[in-house]
Amino acid sequence: MTETLAVPGAAELIRAAASHLVPGITDLHRLLGAGGTEESAEGAEVRLSNGRTLLDFGSYAVTLFGHRPPEVVDAVHRALDTMPTSTRLVANPVTAALASRLAGLVAPERLRRIWLGLTGSDVVEAVLKLSIAATGTTSVLAAQGAFHGKSMGALALTADGERRTPFAGFLGDVRHLPLEPDAVRRAAQERPFAALIVEPVQGEGGGRPLPPALLRQWAEDARRVGAFVIADEIQCGLRRCGPVSVSESVGMDADAVLFGKPLGGGVLPLSAALCSERLYAPLLADPFLHTSTFSGHPASCAAGLAALDLLDAHLDDFARVGRRLAEGVALLAAQHPGVVAEGRTLGLFGALELADRSCSSLALMEAGRRGLLLAPCLSEPTVLRILPPVVVTDEQLDRAMGILDTVLASVARRTAAR
């Protein structure tokens, strides 16, 4: 007879989280969940222990294919039934299959070497080390507004003063460039640098696509002085913003393209760096230069293979959802000009830039209370990200836009009453 584990009540779980996890984050969970905890999820909806159902247009871009996509869940079940982890001393077929698939995904003539991680920061750290090892130069360039993670190397690349200040003396030589066409050329005249790393669409920086001409000019100027070009597409890639690779679509010809977040199908953590032979050279010379115990984790790789299949299976849905999202965000911006400073979309990435930080905080909480989860932006706190999954239905999209319409009208009334 199988014993059933007693699950504590929601109130007890929330108290435990507040006692043992980060209180500021658990406070947000308590407010958005209205006293409930996550219980189950499917597609675009999350069900809570208090009976509420929320539309999930947040999740920080992880659930591109929705919650529990059956194809991914089935692939992970098969991995769990055979060999979910690896000895790391013998080749694993699932890990090798994913590497082969990724090597053919973007610029197969150029990006044939793969390094696998679990988080976005994992692959940022990997290519940062490879760039420095390959060039012997410790200076790196990034962009104003950039966000590449919070581990030490990734944080050095992140242009967020509030997050960087406590660790300033420990961070390396990273210059954050103004978004000007000749910024890389000017930086090269100051001193050599190992790499330029850039998000083609800034995520935490407010959902801002960088101009294609700027990206091409920066990449050309970096290559001219022998530096590597790295495209961080951990949030914007894999069709979230249209193409599989935004950097390739605009002609950056990067030495590495980084994927993460939805790569594990929204089921397991997985990230990947697709690298050129020249960037990967330090690992060819010393295979233990950069390793990680769970790099190439077979169950995660099984999820990744299934997720890559979904990229093509949902092509028509990507176009449908992107079109309807653009229409909805444009209408919200037009109907609420006093609250919405700007509304913008790129594929399945929507952003509402509100009048000030208090407006965005109010809107985030009010939307959650009414049944819609959005993603705030750490580096641009006036911006709320709208990140629907590709499996969202038209009815769910209409419901989300209706909630936002009500929320923005409420924010307008409350700010006018101050």
Q: Are 148 and 197 in contact (CB under 8 A)?
A: yes
What does pLDDT average to in each consecutive run of 10 residues of the chain (418 residues)? 55 79 74 83 96 96 98 98 95 97 96 98 98 98 96 94 88 96 98 98 95 98 98 98 98 98 98 98 97 97 98 96 98 96 98 96 95 94 98 98 98 84
Within a domain: residue 2?
Answer: no
Give pTM, 2 decimals. 0.95
**What single string gives the DSSP state of each residue in 217-252?**
HHHHHHHHTT-EEEEE-TTTTTTTTSSS-HHHHTT-
Placement of tokens 């044939």 in the chain: 112
Asked, for residue 4, whether it belongs to a domain, the answer is no
Spatial distance between the Cα atoms of 242 and 103, rounded to a whole number of angstroms: 20
Strands 140-143 and 195-198: parallel
Produce one character per residue of 284-296: b if its CB has 16 or more CB atoms within 10 Å, e if not: eeeeeebeeeebb
**DSSP class per residue in 125-187:** HHHHHHHHHHHS---EEEETT----SSHHHHHH---HHHHGGGGGGS--EEEEPS-TTHHHHH
What CATH number is associated with residue 356?
Answer: 3.90.1150.10
For residue 271, which of 93, 64, 119 has the smallest C-alpha distance? 119
Q: Terminal CA-to-CA distance of the chain, rounded, Å?
A: 62
60 inside domain: yes
Asked whether residue 35 falls in the same domain as residue 151, the answer is no
Q: Specify whether 81 is located in the same domain as 213.
A: yes
- Which helix (H) or strand (E) segment is 100 a member of? helix 93-103
Give the CATH number for residue 78: 3.40.640.10
Report the pLDDT value the prediction gives residue 418, as an integer from 0 to 100: 67
- Looking at the structure, do residues 136 and 234 belong to the same domain, yes or no? yes
Residue 405 corresponds to which tokens in the numbers above? 């319409």
In a domain, 150, yes or no: yes
pLDDT value of position 331: 98
- Start-end of H helices in 21-83: 23-33, 70-82
Task: Give domain status of residue 105, yes or no.
Answer: yes
Cα 309 to Cα 330: distance, rounded to the nearest angstrom: 31
- CA 317/CA 337 separation, integer angstroms: 30
- Residues 209 and 249: their CA atoms lie apart, in Å, by 13
Integer-rounded Cα Rg, in Å, for the chain is: 22
Judge if 163 and 16 occupy the same domain: no
Q: Do 385 and 399 have their domain in common? A: yes
Are 348 and 317 in contact by the 8 Å Cβ rule? The answer is no
Residues 44 and 174 in one domain: no
Q: Are residues 250 and 210 in the same domain?
A: yes
Indicate the residue among 271, 292, 313 that finishes a domain. Answer: 313
Whether 146 and 286 share a structural domain: yes
Residue at which a domain ends, from 313, 346, 366: 313
| Structural domain harbouring 247 | 70-313
CA dihedral 402, 328, 233, 169 (to 10 degrees): -60
Helix, strand, or coil (residue 123): helix
Q: What residues have CB less than 8 Å from 313, skipping those under 6 apart?
A: none
Residue with tokens 């230069």: 289
**What pLDDT was estimated at residue 285?**
97
Kindly state whether residue 372 falls inside one of the protein's structural domains. yes
Q: Provide φ and ψ at 281, rounded to 5°.
A: -50, -40
In this prediction, residue 26 carries a pLDDT of 73
Q: Is residue 1 a part of any domain in this protein? A: no
Residues 288 and 352 in one domain: no
Pair 83, 174 in one domain = yes
CA distance 130 to 174: 16
Q: What is the pLDDT of residue 75?
A: 98
Asked if residue 293 and residue 332 are part of one domain, the reply reads: no
| Number of structural domains in the chain | 2
Does residue 5 lie within any of the structural domains? no
Q: What are 69's two structure tokens?
A: 């996509």
137 and 192 fall within a common domain: yes
Tell which of 282, 313, 344 closes a domain: 313
Residue 22 burial (CB < 10 Å; 0-12/13-18/19+)?
Answer: exposed
